[in-house]
Amino acid sequence: MDHAADAHRTDLMTITRFVLNEQSKYPESRGDFTILLSHIVLGCKFVCSAVNKAGLAKLIGLAGETNIQGEEQKKLDVLSNDVFVKALVSSGRTSVLVSEEDEEATFVEPSKRGKYCVVFDPLDGSSNIDCGVSIGTIFGIYTLDHTDEPTTEDVLKPGNEMVAAGYCMYGSSCMLVLSTGTGVHGFTLDPSLGEFILTHPDIKIPNKGNIYSVNEGNAQNWDGPTTKYVEKCKFPKDGSPAKSLRYVGSMVADVHRTLLYGGIFLYPADKKSPNGKLRVLYEVFPMSFLMEQAGGQAFTGKKRALDLVPEKIHERSPIFLGSYDDVEEIKALYAEEEKKN
């Protein structure tokens, strides 16, 4: 029997313990962030459970039908949104919430307000639910820097002002990837304990990868630099091997793979979507924050993604993120194009 291995297995670094350890490095900390995070974690566990049961729920008549009380059963993305909004409000640590599902920002009532603003996509890739493809929750956290009445302006800040960001992926395992500005760490849900355990400490993205991830169905509408870059991935002129194409169509799954294996994820602007498709606040910013913390880069085609200043809460932007050297290549192509013009 391997006692050393068993001893290691019994010393579990849960996400709560991890965040408390981080908190202890800041003597002035009051534990507000830890409480907020524990509510986000609870939301993720709930959604994970609901996602796992989604197919069964349909089978036994629980999705999109009316129950005995006459209540309309909710679709999974709406349910996830409700869960996160309620979890965040009840934490007593938030003032402004922006969700992909809600047209307007949610302002927390004064008695439950705290010093954080949370932007989130409660269920990204939800169109993939019925075919069992990985989906996820994405979130970013800002600090409220005043005690006045909160407004939408409190979240219309550049991504470089975020204090934390993460995503939870509901796939073959449920994994929560988090950064509080000091590296990126991955936690896997142990269903038997109901706890997220640290399984991927200090994730670093390789400097260069051999995978590119993009929806090539949009190729006819791309601009010059994107077309050139993808052409280069497929038909390299320098004798290097061609890159492999991997595209799930669920941002969390595609970014997760890019983070672990390296490479580049692209969602460029095109003729159909001149401003890109992905939303700045709760998709582009959190994922760019994580990429940079893991040693990668994130670029919009014009500038560093985290330097964008959004004007609207559901604003969109093109995005190129991933391994440092791969993103450098696309940046060079855009710089070349700019010189020509």
Average pLDDT, stretch 180-191? 96
Q: How confident is the model at residue 257 (pLDDT cuts 50, 70, 90)?
A: very high
pLDDT at 66: 53
pLDDT at 54: 77
Contact indicator for 94, 210 with CB cutoff of 8 Å: no
pTM of the model: 0.93
Lowest-pLDDT range of 67-71, 252-256, 266-270: 67-71
Structure tokens at 28: 């002035």
pLDDT at 78: 87
The H or E element spanning position 334 is helix 324-340
As a CATH number, domain 211-339 is 3.40.190.80
Query: Residues with Cβ < 8 Å from 112, sequence gap 6 or more?
Result: 89, 90, 92
pLDDT reading at 142 higher than 70: yes
pLDDT at 110: 94
Q: How confident is the model at residue 153 (pLDDT cuts 50, 70, 90)?
A: very high
**Start and end residues for every CATH 3.40.190.80 domain found in the chain:** 211-339
Interatomic CA distance for residues 167 and 137, integer angstroms: 5
Could you please state the CATH topology (level 3) that the domain comprising 15-200 is classified under: Fructose-1,6-Bisphosphatase; Chain A, domain 1 (3.30.540)
Average pLDDT, stretch 256-281? 96
**Start and end residues for every CATH 3.30.540.10 domain found in the chain:** 15-200
Average pLDDT, stretch 217-224? 96
